[in-house]
């Protein structure tokens, strides 16, 4: 910290130099700024610039009292600015679990929490405050953290978990805290642009947020490509330098409306093209399989296996693995694995008798076949770690209540 006029213990600082900054959070649905994350900044009067206080709040100082006080100063100033602005926007306040645990060792009552005191003092609507639990490692028990979070929730505040996928925010705590908002760390997002495995992780986070009923917020966005990735994952809340750096004042609610309209229009065109291409690829596989299977009959099992083996050379070249199950999910043919180097299929007899009835794709196929008389099904893209490629599973109904299962290369 900078040396200034007022002494506090061994530290010298002037509370006037601590100024909250606000980074806008854009809502893709209405294309407007719906919230701001409150970030701590310290003013350097000599350089006339602001410096981030992030390193200070994540330090391991033994004397935490000055840091607590700085945090309280910034929090109250932010609430006061919100009150004076008369804007109906939300503020996200970072709360480090260890800070809360140390300050509130015994007094777990709503009236003893500083943020709640400020809401009452300034008459702020509770819906305008979001408590953002950071990735800080928590020294207490999970039960203790749940108690603290529940106090905020019972008071009417929304809960967000920060930096999802790193550090503090593990799956156990997500399950216990059941956040209203899940924030995805920018490091994961940037990696996902180059590594398919990270896209799979993001896809899982996206699906988890939907199942929990949590909103998904992508932070740290710096490029339109990252915006498109966030949108493709179902994130309706967007934050980052691509829109704006943190500012000491609020922006006009519609600052990015025109920009977002263009982004959404372009994104819709891209996604529509991708979906049409996906449908085209699926139809090519399905049409090919339908043509091949027209000659199949509900023959005896041995005869059927021989009949099936005879068509291997005619299968689409993108099929990596194929076998057939009976209606109970038991594999009745060998597994045929494509030799990626010389072509042709290797026959694996030892997998006959395996059961796939429990697989989601098999259950879905049987249900849609029974209810809608649908002959085929296809999964969303999956990932093969060993071969480092993306694939989908096609299921196809055959005579005699048999089901063909084909793993198809789906790499871009």
Query: Global pTM?
Result: 0.86
**Cα–Cα distance between 169 and 135 in angstroms, integer?**
6
Is the Cβ–Cβ distance between 348 and 356 less than 8 Å? no
**Entry field: residues in the chain:** 412
Q: What number is the average pLDDT over the span 225-241?
A: 94
Residue 328 has pLDDT above 80, yes or no: yes
Q: Coil, strand or helix: which one is 264?
A: helix
Q: What number is the average pLDDT over the span 21-29?
A: 97
pLDDT for 2: 42
E strands of 4-76, at which residues?
Answer: 7-8, 11-12, 18-27, 32-44, 49-52
**Cα–Cα distance between 406 and 412 in angstroms, integer?**
18
pLDDT for 9: 43
Q: Could you report the per-residue pLDDT of 259-275, keeping only the tens digit for each?
A: 999 999 999 999 999 99
Full DSSP string of 297-346: ----HHHHHHHHHTTGGGS-TTEEEEEEE-TTSBB-S-EEEE-TTT-SEE
Q: Percentage of the chain with pLDDT > 90?
A: 56
Number of C-beta neighbours around residue 267 at 10 A? 18
Burial class (CB in 10 A: 0-12, 13-18, 19+), 47: exposed
Residues paired with residue 376 on neighbouring β-strands, in sequence order: 396
User: What confidence category does residue 62 fall into, taking pLDDT thresholds of 50, 70 and 90?
Assistant: low
Q: Percentage of the chain with pLDDT > 70?
A: 86
Q: What number is the average pLDDT over the span 210-231?
A: 93
Q: What number is the average pLDDT over the span 55-59?
A: 66
**Cα–Cα distance between 411 and 318 in angstroms, integer?**
10
Q: Cα 151 from chain centroid?
A: 26
Number of C-beta neighbours around residue 90 at 10 A? 18
Half-sphere exposure of 109 (CA within 13 A, CB side): 4
Residues paired with residue 107 on neighbouring β-strands, in sequence order: none
Query: What domains can be seen in the chain, in order of their start residue?
Result: 7-255 (3.20.20.450), 272-409 (3.30.450.20)
Of 167, 187, 168, 184, whose CA–CA distance to 176 is shortest? 168
Q: Could you report the per-residue pLDDT of 183-193, keeping only the tens digit for each?
A: 988 777 676 66
């Amino acid at each position: 910290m900078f040396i200034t006029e007022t002494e506090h213990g061994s530290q010298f600082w002037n509370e006037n130099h601590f100024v909250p900054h606000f980074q806008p959070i854009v809502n893709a649905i209405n294309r407007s700024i719906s919230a701001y994350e409150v970030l701590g900044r310290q003013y350097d009067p000599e350089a006339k610039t602001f410096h981030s206080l992030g390193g200070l709040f994540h330090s391991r100082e033994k004397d935490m009292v000055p840091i607590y006080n700085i945090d309280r100063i910034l929090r109250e100033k932010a609430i006061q600015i919100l009150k004076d602005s008369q804007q109906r926007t939300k503020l996200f306040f970072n709360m480090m679990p260890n800070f809360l645990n140390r300050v509130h060792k015994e007094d777990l009552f709503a009236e003893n929490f500083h943020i709640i005191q400020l809401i009452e003092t300034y008459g702020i609507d509770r819906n305008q405050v979001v408590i953002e639990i950071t990735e800080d490692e928590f020294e207490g028990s999970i039960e203790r953290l749940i108690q603290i979070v529940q106090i905020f929730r019972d008071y009417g505040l929304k809960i967000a978990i920060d930096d999802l996928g790193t550090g503090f925010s593990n799956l156990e705590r997500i399950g216990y805290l059941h956040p209203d908002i899940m924030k995805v760390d920018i490091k994961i997002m940037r990696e996902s642009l180059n590594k398919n495995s990270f896209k799979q992780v993001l896809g899982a986070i996206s699906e988890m947020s939907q199942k929990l009923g949590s909103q998904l917020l992508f932070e740290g966005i710096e490029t339109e490509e990252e915006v498109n990735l966030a949108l493709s994952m179902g994130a309706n809340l967007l934050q980052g330098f691509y829109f704006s750096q943190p500012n000491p004042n609020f922006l006009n609610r519609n600052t990015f409306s025109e920009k977002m309209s263009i982004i959404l229009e372009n994104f819709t065109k891209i996604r529509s093209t991708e979906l049409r291409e996906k449908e085209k690829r699926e139809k090519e596989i399905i049409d090919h399989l339908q043509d091949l299977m027209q000659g199949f009959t509900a023959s005896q099992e041995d005869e059927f296996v021989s009949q099936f083996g005879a068509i291997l050379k005619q299968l689409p070249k993108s099929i990596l693995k194929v076998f057939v199950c009976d209606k109970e999910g038991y594999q009745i043919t060998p597994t045929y694995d494509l030799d990626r180097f010389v072509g042709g299929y290797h026959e694996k007899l030892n997998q006959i008798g395996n059961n796939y009835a429990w697989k989601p794709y098999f259950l879905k196929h049987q249900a849609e076949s029974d209810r809608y008389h649908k002959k085929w099904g296809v999964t969303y893209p999956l990932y093969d770690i060993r071969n480092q490629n993306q694939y989908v599973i096609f299921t196809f109904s055959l005579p005699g209540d048999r089901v063909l299962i084909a793993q198809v290369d789906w790499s871009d």
